[in-house]
Every structure is written in C-alpha cells, then in structure tokens.
Amino acid sequence: MPAHPDTTALIEARTLSLARSGRPVLDRVDFRVDRGEIVTVVGPNGSGKSTLIQILIGALAPDAGTVRRAPGLRIGYVPQSLHIDATMPMPVGRFLALPQRHGRAARAEALAQVGLQDLEAQPMSALSGGQFQRVLLARALLMRPDLLVLDEATRGLDQPGTAAFYRIVEDLRARMGCGVLMVSHDLHVVMSASDRVVCLNGHICCHGTPEIVASAPEYRALFGVGTQGTLALYRHDHDHDHDDGPCGHGPDAPAGAGAGPAAPVRSHGHGHNRQHGAGPDAG
C-alpha cells in the first residue's frame, strides 16, 4: 500500500494473517481507511472480505498482524441483513432503540438522514428490502460513527435500490466527514461511489482509484438512470500475474490460491484501466 501520513488513518491493519480449518484465509494483508475516504473491498466469494471486516471491527482476532484504530474511534456497522421474527411486532423506532437507548430526536434525525422520515411507527416486517437496509444504516448512524462499515449492505436490492443506497452513503460521508469501508459485489455502482477500491483474494491482489470514464448508452439501457448511466472503471496496478486472470477471480477460488507471492501491492508503472462490470463479481 502507498505510504500515508499516519495522522489521517482511522484504522490501519498491517500484515494480517488468519487461517481457518488449516487453510489460509488472509495472508499478510495491509489495509487502511483514512478520514473522509470511501474504500470498497471487492473479491470473489470466499476471498476473505467478511473475515477482514470482522478483524477490523474487532469481532475476530487475527493469527498474526496488527490493527491500529484512531483513539476513541466510533464504528457504525451495517450488516448484510438481519433476521427479525415477522411474528414479533417491532416498530422501526423501537428497533433503533436497541441495544442502546437513543432519544426520539436522535432517532428521527437518523431516519431523516437515510430518507425515511415518518417511518418510526412502521413495523420492521412491513419494510421493503431497501427500506430495511436504510434502517440498519440509520441504526449505525446513531453511533455518530467516525467510520461506517458496510458488509454487503445492498445484497438482494435491485440496481436502482442499490444505487440509491450508495448515494445516501456518499451524501453521509460528505456531510459527516466519516470514513466508509464497504464490501460489495455491486461493482458497477460501487466503483463510482468509491475513492479507493481494494481487490482481495486472500491477499491484497490490487488496489486503485476508481475513474468514471464513460457514459455508455449500452450501460444506460441495461441499468437505467439509477446509476446515472455511468460506467465505472478503476485503475488496476499489478505486481504479479495469475493463471486465471488479473485478480485470480473465480467462484470460490481458494483464498490466496494461484495468487503469487503475497507482497504489498506496488505500482510499477503499468497500471491499466480494467472494466470489472463483466467479471464474475458483477453481481
């Protein structure tokens, strides 16, 4: 990873390694999120994305490596989904008060921030998928987070719902100045919402800055205006090759398999724009 002044890091991990059932899941992963930055982690199924998130938020201990958090760092975590028993009456307002009590004004403000004002009395079971995920986001906002962490928070949403969700996240970042760490398979959308994209395949395969380079009619035809018709590409810097493509992408590719030496990614001047929309991660 490139050198950064340490003072701006919200969270920084160095040489994280973890094995599960004797198999390496993460291999010497360096990672950081700076204040005000949106970083997205992409990678094939089983590439260690959720494991990395769990370690970063402190829910899981690595076998080796370190995680350093800014002093007093507040993390707001948005999970993929949450099961709530449909037979249990749970209005949105009460859900937001769990597990910590938050005042009515704070709850109303959090709901307004995600565009769901006036939904406090609505039962959670009556929400659409997109509304449900926004409520989870509102709950994370009640933490007044310095860092928002979203682990595939738009899984199951359609393209417009996904795009709308990420626009809210971008807006929150702009207004709150928080850092955002996302895991996503919604490459078309998320690339355009990210400052930096990290491709994980057991190790950091590549990373770079997304660049919106085109406004393709074919893309508009496929995805409508939900993504504002943009085609997002990102710069892809490699220091190694894979048998099965630049990122070793393949469904359930063994973590780290065929990925070459797990060295920190170095740019050595052959960065290229690579369209990821057509890859196996394209959700």
Minimal distance, residue 92 CB to ligand ATP, in Å:
27
Binding track over 9-38 against ligand ATP, x by CB under 6 A: -----------xx---x-------------
Residue 185 in contact with residue 251, Cβ under 8 Å? no
Minimal distance, residue 127 CB to ligand ATP, in Å:
23
Give the chain's end-to-end CA distance (angstroms, integer). Answer: 27
Is 43 near ligand ATP (CB under 6 A)? yes
Number of residues that bind ligand ATP (CB under 6 A): 12
Is 62 near ligand ATP (CB under 6 A)? no
Comparison of 91 and 283: residue with beta carbon closer to ligand ATP: 283
Residue 56 in contact with residue 104, Cβ under 8 Å? no
Phi, psi dihedrals of residue 225, rounded to the nearest 5°: -90, -5
Phi, psi dihedrals of residue 68, rounded to the nearest 5°: -120, 125
Is 255 near ligand ATP (CB under 6 A)? yes
* Sign of the torsion formed by the C-alpha atoms of 209, 215, 221 and 223: positive
Residues 6+ positions from 159 with CB-CB distance below 8 Å: 188, 189, 223, 224, 226, 227
Minimal distance, residue 148 CB to ligand ATP, in Å:
18
Minimal distance, residue 17 CB to ligand ATP, in Å:
13
* Interaction site with ligand ATP (CB under 6 A): 20-21, 25, 43, 45-51, 255
